[in-house]
Structure 1
């Protein structure tokens, strides 16, 4: 019997003479190699038109073959040309019809098993995810039942349309341009998208879009796999609202304390100072001067606390005057140099101005305490769609991966999140710390 994985091949020259007859061939035809070598190939395939091989580089055909016991069998022959030392040879790869059928049946069984496995994967994916396929122009060609269920559209309403049909209007055109640029270049895109269902309700999906590439490496269709995260996003939004409310309450308390310090204790101390001045002629002059000095220091200290809690200039004149005032007092009080550059021609929402002011205040305070630096750079520059804030302390830096016990960075991050700003910290040991905040204009 011929071995299962062996290949039967016969090599003939340009004249149709057999040059080589391998062992599997001897087993299937019954001839020994010395019995056929040097003889015309007709001894094996009497009806074979050998001259046709000269017309094509390779060919496949079916022909009758004669075995040594004179029995006749149908063979499938695949022929390829071989040029060796300027001599042309033909390599005949031979299979019996029985072998071919067996190979076909095996292939059919493997294909059936693969299809079954593929259907299992499809079932699992359909049960767990929202699936859609689009062509290279973005037109929907397939949606699963889960997609229809969450979007509240039927498959007939979706197929042939683009995903604009579920566009919520939440994301900017740049968001989708970046998405299409990524998948158009054959790369996988991942992100969170807010969509709108047919009934007008909104839902969030965690999305992965995989491009399918043709032989030239260009996408011909896209597979989008989504998982609903509406509950998660609602929880995040609720947390953000709570943080904004908490920050608002904190600011109101600061205002209240500031007014009380200024209008209550401050006024009382002023009255006390006036009384001491009246006692100058009747009491010990040196003692009175000492009391006067101490009370003056208390007044200055209360003013400083009041200024730090809530500068009235922030409410009256806006962000840039308030920060300029803070920087001047900060430099004077602590002996630091702050290079402040700015370009802002508009007033921002009160909550936004307050959050930016607190972030700058916290960042500069941290730099003074921990950076071991004499110089700080601060820039607030208005762009087309956002306000860019950069604080660079030129100090000793820190390891961002190390565990932090303070709440300074956390406070800044939360304030940035409350106004939907992007907050980034870059730091290296002995190379300083840079804080970047990008505040989108509403």
Structure 2
């Protein structure tokens, strides 16, 4: 070890201003600092590498207890004997044990030789400092209290008169076992210092904790004749520690519950996996070693578009919780769905430093939903086909028959002039033909199949405005025909949304807009009418029907509304 390294350890167990000598486990001097050299009247270079007893003879440091202060003599190269107070501390550096001796010069060769007044003054000063800073009590060898300071009375809430002559059982809380107390008494009765934490009970029944050091005072025979107990209150510290311990236990319980019930993973800020639980390993079919250090791209199914994950990362990167459903791919190529919540953990600057992902498998639920969706799509398709068939039959069958009857009645009217029954038959036949045409149109407008979506919408809006007195502004950038299922879905959603406008909006104007982008078709139906609170939205306003139709073609439907402001229905579908 270099001397500079040794010297840098002086602050380990002593103040920077202490005089110190460092020796190794063989008793060889490794370092003497400047203050020690000055105190011993030596050149420190002459003693580095020498045995300790060349300067402090007859000192067995292996028998010297750590932290104990003893009196001894040093002897320099001139033969001068220097009285010292020594304190030993051990430390470990680079795999080697060392001893740090902190030395102070004694004013004389023994305490008996010191000036009595100075000894008394120093002892009084030390007592004052002790009383001001700590809880102090002195007991005789039987444990009877002989002295307590004001801080002892203050914390115990007993007066000095109530404490003197009693033993410490007066403040026994009953918290500690008999073995604990027996070990304490066994230690100090053998003349050794005892240190530990004790829970006491004050006179008013409240409890308090004290960090306690009990020092035996020994007579000439080495037997204790009294004990000095120095205490520091740590009640708040113990409360905080207990709360932290309780919180830690709760966190452990929560982690256990989470691991048992959920698929859990933790990633760093870059998305690298740092922790996965057993359920993650089980469902992904990757080993823990294969997952740790990788990103979730390892289980990416390719089902979701890049925009999906971009939005996910944008959300959690801003410190917000993200929730959604993700389709993943296991190691064996099978797919599984997870209902996912990702929680960012934020540093002091409010920036995420890691992410906790909690997932629940919903593969079976998604499969049932897909089956239901397939069934619903099939039902809607069958329904539309049936509407189309009935519309054609009404138009081509009953409608044509009624039209033939109308021609017959017209011919009859030319032969029988001004007959009231003939006039009545003409009117009724004309009304029946119109009703059949209207009913046929409601079932399935033929223009939708023959000419396409935009002419069908224009035709519907004209009839709608004429029938209900609501002007509808229509604007479309669509320049091509779509899949027939998508066209009929858009048409039906517009039809249903405007029916709601007619029934509930209490307005005479509305608008329908169709916008075509590179990837999708977006439809907006807006009104500035009565509006409503979304929480009060009822399935009776056709929303369920519109949502089912939107899902049947993998589209998305949303409704925005506020009272007295109006309502907007938005339908978006991929091209």
Q: Deviations over 1:39-88 (max 9, x none)?
A: xxxxxxxxxxxxxxxxxxxxxxxxxxxxxxxx99799xxxxxxxxxxxxx
Counterpart of 2:376 (choices 243, 263, 268) is 243
5+ long unaligned stretches in structure 1: 1-16, 35-70, 76-93
The answer to whether structure 1 residue 190 and structure 2 residue 299 are counterparts is no
> Given the two structures, how large is their TM-score scaled by the length of structure 1?
0.73
* Structure 2 match to 1:319: 453
| 8 Å Cα contact 1:133/1:140 also seen in 2 | yes
CA change 1:193–1:286 in 2 (3 A) is: same
Q: Which is higher, the Rg of structure 1 or of structure 2?
A: 2
Classify 1:296/1:347 alpha carbon distance in 2 versus 1 (closer, same or farther; 3 Å).
same
Give 1:115 shift. Answer: 6.1
- Residues 211 and 223 of structure 1 are in contact (CA less than 8 Å); yes or no, is this contact kept in structure 2? yes
Looking at structure 2, the residues matched to 186 and 281 of structure 1 have their Cα atoms a distance apart, in angstroms, of 84
Hey, what does 1:214 align to over in structure 2? 347
Q: Which has the higher contact order (CA 8 A, sep 6+)?
A: 1
* CA-CA distance at 1:186 after TM superposition: 2.4
* Equivalence for 1:225: 358
Q: Which residue of 1 aligns with 2:410?
A: 277
Aligned to 2:519: 385
Contact 1:133 1:223 in 2 (8 A): yes
Q: Distance in 2 between matches of 1:133 and 1:396?
A: 48
| Separation in structure 2 between the aligned mates of residue 398 and residue 182 of structure 1, nearest angstrom | 29
3-state SS of paired residue (2:136): helix
- CA change 1:126–1:292 in 2 (3 A) is same
Partner residue in 1 for 2:529: 395
For 1:126, which of 259, 271, 286 is the aligned residue?
Answer: 259
Shift of 1:121: 3.5
Of residues 276, 292, 298, the one that matches 1:143 is: 276
What is the TM-score when the length of structure 2 is the normalising length? 0.58
Counterpart of 2:477 (choices 331, 343, 347) is 343
CA distance in 1, matches of 2:212, 2:347: 33
Determine the C-alpha separation between the residues in 2 that align with 1:246 and 1:308.
18
SS in 1 for 2:415: coil
RMSD: 3.6
Q: 1:225 to 1:253 in 2, by over 3 A?
A: same
Q: Aligned in 2, Cα 1:264/1:97: closer, same or farther, shift over 3 Å?
A: farther
Q: Does 1:333 align with 2:442?
A: no
Shift of 1:360: 0.7
1:335, 1:26 → 2: CA distance?
Answer: 93
Deviations 1:319-349, CA, capped at 9 Å, x for gaps: 2221111111222233321111111123222
- Cα distance, 1:276 vs structure 2: 2.3
**CA separation of 1:319/1:229 partners in 2, compared to 1, >3 Å: closer, same or farther?**
same
- 1:120 Cα offset (Å): 3.9
- Counterparts of 1:107-118 in structure 2, within 5 Å, are 118=251
Number of equivalenced pairs: 372
Give unpaired runs (5+ residues) of structure 2.
Answer: 1-124, 140-146, 151-190, 196-210, 216-230
2:161 aligned with 1:27:
no
